[in-house]
Amino acid sequence: MSSKIHLTRLMPNRGEVNIQKGSEVSPTQIIARSYKSAKFYILEAGKIPGIEIADLDKNLLVEVGAPLEEGTPLIRKSKGSDKERVFSSPVSGVLVEVFEGNLVIQRPQKLFELRAMVQGKVSKIIPQMGAEIQLTGSLVQAVWSSGRESQGPLFISTKNNVDNLSLEDIRSEMGRSIVVAGRLSSSQLLEVLENFQVRGLIVGSLPAALIPHAREVMFPVYVTDGFGDHPMNAHIFRVFLGGQGKDTSLLNGSWERGEQRSQIVVNVPESQNIKTVEAEWNLLKTGDIVRVIKSRNNLTGKVKAVHPEARRTISGGWMPGADIELENGESLSVPYSNIDVINGK
């Protein structure tokens, strides 16, 4: 079942929080900004051929405090041909100090922008660091992630929590989605998923040898149960089944300074609810009059058969559901999440 979640979003260092308590936030909204600490580059001029430390002050082409771009003429050499008489800055930054033949260049600060990554309401401001966001949904903690964050609709790619993701499970409909599979054993499939532009992959397990490959692909990989060849926990898989098509966020725990694991959040509006698969098919009975949610024509019909086991949907994903006989005589196989019971028989 979905429930109230209080999610903490923090920056890696202090900065400015630009939202208020009680504000409604969207997944892509920037809620805080900070600058990562600047690094310093030490240039040892005495080790550069053609530069004499004794002549450094008079041959320096920029003043202390001057901004530098990579390639900016920096020092005039005492020796060398005309084309080699100038040494250029190897990095961008600001020249902050010259001492004992060393040039200290402060590298540019990098802007860090923290996004909400979920739909919800700000319940608490954490000064200079971030905020706590309240939302409705289901939360699963991952045991490992490849270190990135993402967000998109949930797509169930395997029939159950045991099955390995296979090439036959991958289809164009899963593009720009967060894909769920029982487990993963092939690095080749990571490349295929990358070509389909998926936004993330959730698996029960993967071999430890695939960790470097998982870190290299452009989408995040989250593991719910461990390394090796284990199925996904059955309860966790049922939670994902109930969230098929729902907006889902992958949140990297390392941004929380190691204080919590990476998290998977299936975001649900308060007016809706994620029901467990068992609760859905126990309530639905043959002969019930139902409405097909998300259909363009507001279709209604009668339940012909209930299927508690996962079946392939029109979109290509796996989802338990029911066969519905429409008023016009047509039959549809519909996932539980798209069925609304009007009245029983």
Q: What is the pLDDT of residue 277?
A: 43
Dist. CA 36–CA 33, nearest whole Å:
10
The terminus-to-terminus CA distance of the chain in angstroms comes to 26
Written as six digits, the tokens of 301 are 């019909």
For 67, phi then psi, to 5°, come to -75, 145
Dist. CA 169–CA 152, nearest whole Å:
19
**Residue 289: count of CB within 10 angstroms of its CB:** 15
Q: What is the pLDDT of residue 316?
A: 63
Strand 200-206 relative to strand 178-181: parallel, antiparallel, unpaired? parallel
pLDDT digits (tens, 9 = 90+) for 114-157: 999 999 999 999 999 999 999 998 888 898 999 899 999 999 99
pLDDT digits (tens, 9 = 90+) for 233-279: 888 898 898 888 999 999 997 544 444 678 999 987 665 555 444 44
53-89 per-residue burial string, b: 16 or more CB within 10 A, e: under 16: eeebeebbebeeeeebeeebebbbbeeeeeeeeebeb
Q: What is the pLDDT of residue 257?
A: 46
What is the average pLDDT score of the chain?
86
Q: All domains of the chain, ordered by start, with CATH?
A: 3-35+112-267 (3.50.30.10), 40-106 (2.40.50), 277-343 (2.30.30.1060)
Residues (pLDDT < 70) of the chain are 1-2, 79-84, 254-260, 269-283, 293-298, 309-310, 312-319, 337, 340, 342-345
Written as six digits, the tokens of 229 are 């060849």
Tell me the longest C-alpha to C-alpha distance in the chain: 98
